[in-house]
């Protein structure tokens, strides 16, 4: 991929405006087609009593499905609000700056539910019958409030993952004692366009009796072979890889030494490290649950031909959204990958900053 030029702010703004107009035009066309279908159906119903009865039954069923959709949407939003509130509480317990919930005005999950927050704001300000713009204004304030808090929670998530990439003691408590990042994990030496089978193959090797030491030695052998190949095809890149591996090994050696010294001299309280690790783990796991709920809400609200077909065929599954609980092992596997990826990004940035 060759980057030839960057868009100017004006071009970004123009492209965004074009996308907005395209969405509005698509919505207008869909509404126009729906209106035409309704007119044709009503005209036919006026001439055919049997069709009129069937059409009335169909409309009632569609209304029931719409009620079910609204109910499910409210349940998903309420569940997401609970998870976000849990994250906010954990951020406060971690002692992070700017996360005093009393100052933020967040007293319960309802304060992070768009519908409930909007209703509360309208009650506090005045009567909606006296000012028809009140509902829209309250909705804008509620959306902006929740969006701002959500963005801050996502920033906390990124910072905690970055901390795990740098803090060996915390990483060991969250991911386990064997969570040290090896140079090969931080510096990905796999060929471009790799198929991503490394983790699966490692599991298969362990099932066939290979020890972690055997796997580590095999990884080292493969890495050396790739470096030899690079020396023949791209000597400069090979030298950079060798320097990077040596640098990383040195960094990990010093990290282990310094970690032992800090523990001996400053007497870091293991109970405090463990407490913080539990809070970090709970926060990041809640982040994964929030992402799953957000994805479900996006799928739930997406207006696709498939969903329209299900509604037309009166299929209750059109509004069914299932959220499976995240298993601890699955969460830790994802988190380990995120931490390793963050470490790789930090290393890449450090090379560019040299």
Q: What is the DSSP string of 266-334?
A: T---HHHHHHHHHHHHHHHHHHHHHHHHHHHHHHHH---HHHHHHHHTT-GGGG----PPPPHHHHHHH
Q: Does some domain include residue 21?
A: no
Q: Does some domain include residue 242?
A: yes
Angstrom distance (rounded) from CA 354 to CA 351:
5
Q: Does some domain include residue 161?
A: no
- Give the count of beta carbons closer than 10 Å to the beta carbon of residue 299: 11
Helix (H, G, I), strand (E, B) or coil at 193: coil
Q: Does some domain include residue 253?
A: yes
Q: What are φ and ψ of residue 99, in 5° steps?
A: -120, 40
Q: pTM for the whole thing?
A: 0.59
CB contact set of 94 (below 8 Å; sequence gap of 6+)? 276, 279, 280, 283
Q: Does some domain include residue 57?
A: no
Q: Does some domain include residue 341?
A: no
CB contact set of 289 (below 8 Å; sequence gap of 6+)? 83, 326
Q: Tell me what pLDDT residue 32 has.
A: 92
Q: Tell me what pLDDT residue 320 has.
A: 52
Per-residue pLDDT of the chain (354 residues; tens, 9 = 90+): 444 556 677 888 888 889 889 988 988 998 899 899 889 988 888 888 888 888 888 888 888 877 887 888 888 888 999 999 999 999 999 888 888 888 888 888 888 888 887 777 777 766 655 566 666 777 777 888 888 888 999 899 888 888 887 777 777 778 775 555 554 444 443 434 333 444 455 566 666 777 767 777 777 777 778 777 777 787 777 777 777 777 666 655 555 554 444 333 444 567 777 888 888 888 988 988 898 888 888 877 765 444 455 545 555 554 455 555 556 777 777 777 777 777 767 666 655 544
Question: Domain range for residue 207?
Answer: 198-264
Number of structural domains in the chain = 1
Q: Does some domain include residue 71?
A: no
Angstrom distance (rounded) from CA 156 to CA 127:
38
Q: Tell me what pLDDT residue 84 has.
A: 92
Q: Does some domain include residue 158?
A: no
């Amino acid at each position: 991929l060759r980057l030839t030029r960057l868009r100017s702010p004006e071009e970004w703004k123009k492209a965004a405006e074009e996308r907005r107009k395209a969405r509005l035009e698509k919505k207008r066309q869909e509404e126009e087609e729906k209106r035409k279908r309704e007119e044709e159906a009503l005209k036919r119903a006026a001439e055919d009593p049997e069709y009129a009865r069937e059409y009335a039954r169909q409309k009632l069923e569609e209304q029931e499905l719409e009620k079910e959709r609204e109910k499910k949407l409210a349940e998903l939003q309420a569940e997401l609000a609970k998870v976000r509130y849990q994250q906010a509480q954990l951020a406060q317990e971690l002692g992070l700056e700017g996360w005093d919930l009393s100052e933020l005005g967040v007293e319960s999950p309802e304060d992070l539910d768009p519908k409930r927050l909007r209703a509360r704001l309208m009650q506090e300000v005045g009567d909606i019958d006296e000012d028809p713009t009140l509902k829209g204004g309250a909705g804008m304030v509620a959306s902006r409030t929740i969006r701002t808090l959500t963005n801050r929670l996502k920033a906390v998530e990124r910072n905690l993952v970055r901390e795990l990439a740098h803090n060996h003691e915390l990483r060991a408590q969250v991911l386990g004692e064997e969570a040290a990042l090896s140079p090969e994990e931080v510096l990905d030496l796999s060929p471009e366009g790799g198929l991503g089978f490394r983790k699966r193959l490692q599991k298969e090797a362990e099932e066939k009796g290979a020890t972690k030491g055997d796997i580590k030695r095999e990884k080292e052998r493969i890495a050396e072979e790739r470096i030899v190949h690079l020396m023949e095809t791209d000597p400069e890149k090979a030298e950079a890889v060798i320097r990077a591996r040596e640098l990383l090994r040195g960094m990990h050696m010093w990290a282990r030494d310094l970690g032992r010294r800090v523990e001996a001299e400053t007497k870091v309280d293991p109970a405090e490290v463990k407490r913080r690790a539990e809070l970090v783990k709970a926060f990041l796991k809640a982040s994964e649950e929030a992402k799953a709920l957000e994805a479900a809400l996006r799928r739930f609200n997406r207006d696709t031909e498939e969903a329209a077909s299900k509604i037309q065929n009166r299929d209750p599954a059109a509004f069914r959204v299932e959220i499976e609980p995240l298993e601890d092992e699955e969460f830790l596997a994802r988190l380990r990958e995120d931490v390793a990826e963050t470490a790789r990004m930090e290393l890449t940035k450090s090379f560019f900053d040299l």
